[in-house]
Chains A and B, each alone.
Chain A
Amino acid sequence: MKKIKDRNYQEAMDRIEEIVLNLESEEIEMDELSIQVKEAIELIQFCKLKLKSTSEELTEALKKLEEA
C-alpha cells in the first residue's frame, strides 16, 4: 500500500472510490474492512486538508491578482 503522504490528490480520491466500491461489492474480507475504512478516512482527511490548503493558497494568489 502506498503511503498516504506520497499520494497526490487524484490518487487519493481514486483510492477512496476504490475502497467504497470494495465495500459495496462485498469483495472485502471482514479483517480487511477496518484497515481499508481507516485508510479511506485518512485519505478523506488528507484530501480535505489538501483542498483547504489549496483553497487558501489560491485565495491568497487570487487576492494578489486583484491587487495588481
Chain B
Amino acid sequence: MKHLRLSELNHLIKETLDANLQPTYWLVAEIGEMRVAGKGHCYLELIEKVEDEIISRMRGNIWAYNYRAISGWFESITGQPLKSGMEILCQAAITYHPVFGMSLTIKDVDPNYTLGERARRKQQIIQQLKQDGIFDMNRELTLPLVAQKIAVISSSTAAGFGDFMDQISANQYGYKFDISLFQAAMQGEQAPLQIIEALHQIADKLDSFDLVAILRGGGSQLDLDCFDNYDLVSHIAQFPLPVITGIGHERDETIADLVAHTKVKTPTALAEFLISGLVDFEENLLYQAKIMADKVTAKLKDENFRIMQQANILERSVIRRLQRDGQSIAILSEKLKSYTKSYLREQDRVQLELKKRISRNTNATLKARLQHLELLAQKVNGMDPQKLLERGYSITMVDGKNINEIKNLKKGSKLTTLTKNRTFESTLDLEKEREDV
C-alpha cells in the first residue's frame, strides 16, 4: 500500500483545489462572528443557517487594505457597518494553507445585496404588522391641538437629547414644555427591550402626557436595526398616544418611523416640530380672533343698517297711512258737505210744500167753516121765537116756566101767553092730552 505524507496530501488538496476551482466566487453567506484585529485585518466566520441551525461554516478574512475600502463603501451605501448577523454577497477566493487549513479571502462585498436583503426583511415585518392590523394604528391617532406634556424616550447622555432640550427650552416664542425623560438604550441588542419598558412606564401615566417622542443622538450613522425590531415597532404602532420619532438618520426610514404618528429626521427637528405645533395653534387662534372681529363688525353694521331701514319703512308707512286716512277724511267730509246741502235743500222743499199745503188747506177749511157757520147762523136765525110769534105762534108759560115742563096742571092755574106784541093772562079750565101726536 502506498503511503502519503501529510504534507503530500495537503499539497494534493491544494493542487486539486487550484485545478478545479475558479479563482474567485460570488458567495452569499451570513456573517457569524467578526472582529477587526490590531493591524486592521478583519477576521470573520461565514455561516449558512436553515431555521437557526448552522448547516455550513467557513473562516474568512479581509485584509486590512481591502477592509478599509470595503467597510467604508458598505457603510456609505447601507447606512450601517458590516457586522455579525448580516447576510452579505461577497467575492471570495478559496485559500488553502497546509498549516492553517482552508479559508476564504474576501476581496469585495456588494452592499446592494445586503441593502436588498434588509429591505426584504423589513418588508416582511411591515407585511406582518399590516396582517396584524396594527400598522396604521398610531398614525390614525389625532395629534393633540396643543402638545406640551412630552414623554421623551432617549438616553440622557445622547447628544441628540441635549440638542432637543436646548432647542425646546430656548424657543423664541417662550412656550413652556413639560418634558419627562424615560431612559433607554438607543442602540444595541438591549435597545428594543428597554424602549418597550419605557413605553410601559409611560402607559402607566397616560393622562400625564400628550405625546411620546423617541429621540436618538444624531451625527454618526450608527446601528438602526433595533428600530426595525418587530416587538418594538408593534408596541409603537399600538401605543395609545401619538409617537414621534427623531432617530437621527438621513438615509432610509426604519419601521419605527413608518408606524410612528410622525417622523422627523433629527431631535432638533423634533423640537421644532413641537414648537411649530404651538405656533400654528396660536396663529390659528389669532386668525380666528380676527375673523371673529371682522364678523362682529360686519354684523353690527348689518344690524345698524337693518334698524335704520326698519325705521325708514315705518316712517314711510305711517306717512302713507296718515295721508291715505287724511284723504279719506277729506273725501268723507266733502261727501258729508254735499249730503248736508242736498238734505237741507230737500228739507226746504218739503217745508215749502207743507206750507203750501197748509195754506191751501187752511183757506178751504176756513171757507167751509164759514159756510157752516152761516148755515148755523141761518139755522139759529130760524130759531128766533119772535119770528115764530110774528108768524102767529104763541108761547104759554106757567109761573114764568115752559109749560111743557110742568106736569099736573090744575084747574085754575094761572097761564101767561105771549103773542107778537101782546101778553094774555088766563086761568086754566081744562087739560087734555093731544090725540094727534
Note all chain B residues with C-beta closer than 8 A to A20. Answer: 310, 313-314, 317
Q: Are B293 and A44 in contact (CB under 8 A)?
A: no
Interface residues of B in 269-318 (CB under 8 A from A): 289, 293, 296, 300, 303-304, 306-307, 310-311, 313-314, 317-318
Note all chain A residues with C-beta closer than 8 A to B306. Answer: 13
How many A-B pairs have beta carbons closer than 8 Å: the answer is 46
Per the bound structure, the CA–CA distance linking A23 and B311 in Å amounts to 13
Given A23-B317, A58-B296, A65-B289: A51 touches B307 (CB 8 Å cut-off):
yes
Q: Are B296 and A62 in contact (CB under 8 A)?
A: yes
Q: How large is the interface on B (under 10, 10 to 19, 20 to 34, 35 or more residues)?
A: 10 to 19
CB distance from A14 to the nearest CB of B (A): 11
Given A58-B296, A62-B293, A65-B293: A19 touches B314 (CB 8 Å cut-off):
yes
Q: Are A13 and B325 in contact (CB under 8 A)?
A: no
Per the bound structure, the CA–CA distance linking A17 and B304 in Å amounts to 15
Given A24-B317, A51-B303: A16 touches B310 (CB 8 Å cut-off):
yes
Note all chain A residues with C-beta closer than 8 A to B296. Answer: 58, 62
Q: Are B310 and A23 in contact (CB under 8 A)?
A: no
Q: How large is the interface on A (under 10, 10 to 19, 20 to 34, 35 or more residues)?
A: 20 to 34
The contact of B310 among A9, A28, A44, A55, by CB within 8 Å, is: A44
Flag B368-397 by CB within 8 Å of A: 1 or 0 each: 000000000000000000000000000000
Flag A1-45 by CB within 8 Å of B: 1 or 0 each: 000000001000100110110011010101001000100110010
Closest to A19 in B: B314
Question: Would you give 21 A-B contacts (Cβ < 8 Å), ordered by A?
Answer: A9-B303, A13-B307, A16-B314, A20-B310, A23-B317, A23-B318, A23-B320, A23-B321, A24-B317, A26-B321, A30-B325, A33-B321, A44-B307, A44-B310, A44-B314, A47-B307, A51-B303, A51-B304, A55-B300, A58-B300, A62-B296
Interface residues of A (CB under 8 A from B): 9, 13, 16-17, 19-20, 23-24, 26, 28, 30, 33, 37, 40-41, 44, 47-48, 51, 54-55, 58, 62, 65
